[in-house]
Amino acid sequence: MREILVIGIGAGNPEYITVQAINALNSADVFFVVDKGEDKSSLLALRTDICDRHINDQNYRLVQIPEPPRDREASAYAEAVQDWHERRAGLVEAAIIEHLPDDGHGAFLVWGDPALYDSTLRVIERVLDRGNVAFDYRVIPGITAVQALAAQHRLPLNRIGEPVHITTGRRLTSGLPDGLDSAVVMLDPGLACADLDDPDLHIYWGAYLGTPQEELRSGRVRDVADEIARTKQELRRQHGWIMDTYLIRRESPPSSEGRT
């Protein structure tokens, strides 16, 4: 029976990789990575760097799976994502059949942790449901961008006894959910928090976390949002891509109160 490991490789720093992930890397012969196109080629390079650093037998094979184009303008967002997952499942299925022998050990290298805003596990379940190829699979957790952000800003994510809310820029446009004073925001191409009219809102922002290009900013949203938005534009132009994450938190003065 084929075996597939879905390995979280951490969100940027090759040293985020866990001992469990290193052992998993060394048990696989074929590595599948999703190729997101040229603008993200440095992400692919980072994955290759991880394989080069941590795999003892360098005779492994790296198989790139092209990412199918996604209709981001579709009005029916959920259906468009389902359709995209189905096309990805077709490509993943074809790659497994072509490159992984019946008793082979394959691995998918997933940025950060596979449980957080990543479709690999859904796509793998789809491949199994299609019934054209059989395999077992296991998941190895990784360090997420959220953990990297909290560490770099030396922040606890929750206030005492309060929940942690993780959301997307798209969802933040309607504001913080009722009863919540903070949220971690991912997948925000602009800076959605800049439009929230709240003088007590603070932001803890990080881009390219864990990498040599890392940028950190923090302050009152009102005071720093314009500068962060400009920095994002400039960095995107410079590197061809950007990944950033931030925590926003309502902090009544004195601001240190919320950080205990």
**Distance (Å, whole) CA 208 – CA 213:** 6
Binding of ligand SAM at residue 45 (CB under 6 A)? Answer: no
Q: Are strands 244-250 and 182-186 parallel, antiparallel or unpaired?
A: antiparallel
Inter-CA distances, 239 with 40, 111, 207, 217, 244, Å? 9, 18, 12, 18, 13
Binding of ligand SAM at residue 244 (CB under 6 A)? Answer: yes
Contact assessment for residue 99 and residue 106, using Cβ atoms and an 8 Å cutoff: yes
Shortest Cβ 144–ligand SAM spacing (Å): 3
From candidates 4, 11, 46, 124, binder to ligand SAM by CB under 6 A = 11
**Distance (Å, whole) CA 23 – CA 32:** 17
Number of residues that bind ligand SAM (CB under 6 A): 20
Binding of ligand SAM at residue 118 (CB under 6 A)? Answer: yes
Contact assessment for residue 185 and residue 221, using Cβ atoms and an 8 Å cutoff: no
From candidates 127, 144, 182, 183, binder to ligand SAM by CB under 6 A = 144
Contact assessment for residue 176 and residue 51, using Cβ atoms and an 8 Å cutoff: no
Which window, 59-67, 96-104, 112-120, 156-164, contacts ligand SAM (CB under 6 A)? 112-120
Binding of ligand SAM at residue 186 (CB under 6 A)? Answer: yes
Q: How many residues does the chain have?
A: 260
Which residue lies nearer to ligand SAM by CB, 9 or 100?
9
Map residues 59-98 to x or -, x wherever contact with ligand SAM holds by CB under 6 A.
----------------------------------------
**String of b and e for 46-76 (b: at least 16 CB within 10 Å)?**
bbeebbeebbeeeebeeeebeeeeeeeeeee
Q: Are strands 201-207 and 244-250 parallel, antiparallel or unpaired?
A: antiparallel
Map residues 196-225 to x or -, x wherever contact with ligand SAM holds by CB under 6 A.
----------xxxxx---------------
Shortest Cβ 102–ligand SAM spacing (Å): 30
Binding of ligand SAM at residue 251 (CB under 6 A)? Answer: no
Q: Which residue is nearest to ligand SAM (CB)?
A: 112
- Residues near ligand SAM (CB under 6 A) are 11-12, 111-113, 116-118, 144-145, 186-187, 206-210, 243-245
